[in-house]
Amino acid sequence: MMNAVMPNYGNPTVSFERGEGVYLFDTEGRRYLDFAAGIAVNSLGHSHPALVSALKEQAERLWHVSNLYAIPDQVRMAERLCALSFADGVFFCNSGTEAMEGAIKAARRFHAKNGHPEKWRSITLEGSFHGRTIAMLSASKNPKHLDGFGDPADGFDIVPVHNMNALRDAITPETAAIVAEPIQGEGGLRPLAEDYLRDLRAAADEFGLLLVFDEVQTGFGRTGKLFAHEWSGVTPDVMACAKGIAGGFPCGAVLATDAVASSMTAGSHGSTFGGNPLAMAVANANLDVLTSDEFLDNVVHAGDAIRAGLRDIAGRYPGIIADVRGQGLMIGMVVDPAFTNGELGDAARDEGLLTVVAGENVLRMLPPLIIGESEIAEALDAIEKACAVLASADDA
C-alpha cells in the first residue's frame, strides 16, 4: 500500500535507522557496506565525529539568521574555497540544482553587466545531468526526465560530447556559456577527455564565452583532487558544487572568478537557507578533513585498488561486467546488455553492498572517501558473489 509520500522515488524496500563509518544498518538490524554514500554525499561516511561535533556545537548556539546578516563561518568557508581554487567569490545555496541555476544566472548576468544582454544561451552536452528544476532539466534535455512537464525552458543548445565541430557550429551571438561536467555522473560515469576540456576552454576564450563546470558530483575530493578539473589543468570561470561539500548536510555553492562574481550585485540573486550557520559549521569541518595530509592521496589509492579488483572480476565474468571506468572513488561498472545495472545492483545489495545505477547501463560505486583496505576487499567479494548469482541464473 502506498504511504503519504509522493511515489516519485518508486517504492524503496529498505529503510535504515543508523550509520557508522562506511556501514548502514537497516530496521531489521542487517548491516550494509555503503558504496552509494547518499549518491556521493556522505564523503566522510556516517556519524563522523568531526562533523557530529561541529553540528552539535553550532546547533546549541545558533541555527539560522538568513543572509540579512553577516555569517562569519560563511565568510570563512568562502575564503578557504577561493584560496583552494580558481575562484574569487562564492555564493552558497542548498543543493546541486540550485548551484547550477546560480551558475547559469551568473553567466547571463556577467554578459548583461558587460554590455551584452543578448548573450543568454548556454551550450550543454548530450548525456549531461544538471538537476531537477525545470531549467536544469532543460539544460540536459533527457526525454525521460522531461516526460510530462511540457516544453523545455529555452536558452540551452545541446551538442554531442567530444565533437568540437558541432560545438563551434552551435555558437551564436546569443551564446553566453559552455557548460560541462568533467565526468558525467548520472550519464554513466563518462569522463570527458582532457584534450576536449582544453578545447572547450580555448573555444570559450576565442568567442568571449564563459566556461561553466558542473562539479556537483565530482567536487570535494571525489576523484582524488579537491575538484575534478584539476586533473586536466583547465580552469572554469564558474563552477557549481554540492553533494560532498558538507558530508551530508544540505549545502551547495557557486564559485566564480572576480569578473563574474562582481556582476552579481546586491539583489540579483539570493537564498533563504543557503550558507546558514549550521551548514557552514559542518562544511568547514568537512573541509578540514578533506584537506588534511594525504587524505586525497588515499582516495586515489583506494580508487585504483577498487578498479583493479573490478577488472579482475570482469575478466572472470565478461558476460556481466563489460568495462570499468571512472576516477578516484567515482567508479562505474558497464553492465553487459544481457543484464541490467539494476539487476547487478539488486544482487549486490542482497550480498550486503549498496550501489547506485546510472545511464548507459552503468552501476556506480561512490563509497565514502574514508574507505579502507578491508572494506574494499569486502565490496569486491560482494560484487563477485553478485556476478556469480547472475551467471548462475543465466545458466538455469
Q: What is the mean pLDDT of the chain?
A: 96
- How many CB atoms are closer than 10 A to CB 207? 14
User: Diameter of the chain by CA atoms?
Assistant: 68
Q: Which of 6-20, 146-160, 311-325, 332-346 has the lowest mean pLDDT?
A: 6-20
For residues 278-286, average pLDDT:
98
Q: Is the dihedral of CA 111, 117, 119, 120 positive or negative?
A: positive
Burial tier of 227 (Cβ tally within 10 Å: 0-12, 13-18, 19+): buried
Beta carbons of 270 and 92 less than 8 angstroms apart = no
Partners of residue 213 on adjacent β-strands = 180, 239
Beta carbons of 252 and 240 less than 8 angstroms apart = yes
Please give the Cα distance from 34 to 217 (Å, whole number): 17
Q: What percent of the chain has pLDDT over 90?
A: 95
What torsion do the CA atoms of 96, 138, 324, 14 make, to the nearest 10 degrees? 60
Asked whether residue 13 carries a pLDDT value surpassing 90, the answer given is no
Asked whether residue 85 carries a pLDDT value surpassing 70, the answer given is yes
Asked whether residue 11 carries a pLDDT value surpassing 90, the answer given is no
Active site residue 350: no
Please give the Cα distance from 9 to 6 (Å, whole number): 8
For residues 125-131, average pLDDT:
96
Residue type, 87: A
Burial tier of 116 (Cβ tally within 10 Å: 0-12, 13-18, 19+): middle
Per-residue confidence at 84, pLDDT binned at 50, 70, 90? very high
> pLDDT tens digits, residue range 243-258?
999 999 999 999 999 9
Total-model pTM: 0.96
Active site residue 243: yes
Active site residue 214: yes
3-state helix, strand, coil in the chain (%, to 5): 40, 20, 40
Per-residue confidence at 53, pLDDT binned at 50, 70, 90? very high
pLDDT at 10: 84
Per-residue confidence at 1, pLDDT binned at 50, 70, 90? low
Side-chain-side CA neighbours of residue 210 (13 Å): 32
Q: 34, 73, 157, 214: which one is catalytic?
A: 214
Asked whether residue 396 carries a pLDDT value surpassing 70, the answer given is no
Q: Which residues contact 152 (CB under 8 A, 6 or more apart)?
A: 134, 137, 138, 141, 146
pLDDT at 157: 98
Asked whether residue 379 carries a pLDDT value surpassing 80, the answer given is yes
Per-residue confidence at 68, pLDDT binned at 50, 70, 90? very high
Quote the radius of gyration of the chain (alpha carbons, Å). 21
- Position of cell 551467471? 391
| DSSP of 58-121 | HHTT-----TTS--HHHHHHHHHHHHTSS-SEEEEESSHHHHHHHHHHHHHHHHHHTT-TT--E
Beta carbons of 103 and 238 less than 8 angstroms apart = yes
Please give the Cα distance from 367 to 166 (Å, whole number): 36
Asked whether residue 153 carries a pLDDT value surpassing 90, the answer given is yes
Side-chain-side CA neighbours of residue 349 (13 Å): 20
Integer angstrom CA distances of residue 177 from 102, 158, 169, 172, 261:
13, 12, 14, 11, 15
Partners of residue 247 on adjacent β-strands = 249
pLDDT at 238: 98
Q: Is the dihedral of CA 180, 183, 185, 188 positive or negative?
A: positive
Q: What angle do CA 353, 357, 360 make, to 5 degrees?
A: 140
Q: 35, 86, 92, 129: which one is catalytic?
A: 129
Q: 34, 243, 249, 339: which one is catalytic?
A: 243
Q: How far is CA 306 from the centre of its chain?
A: 19
Complete edge-to-edge strand list for the sheet that includes strand 238-241: 89-93, 252-256, 238-241, 210-214, 175-180, 121-125, 156-159
Please give the Cα distance from 270 to 105 (Å, whole number): 11
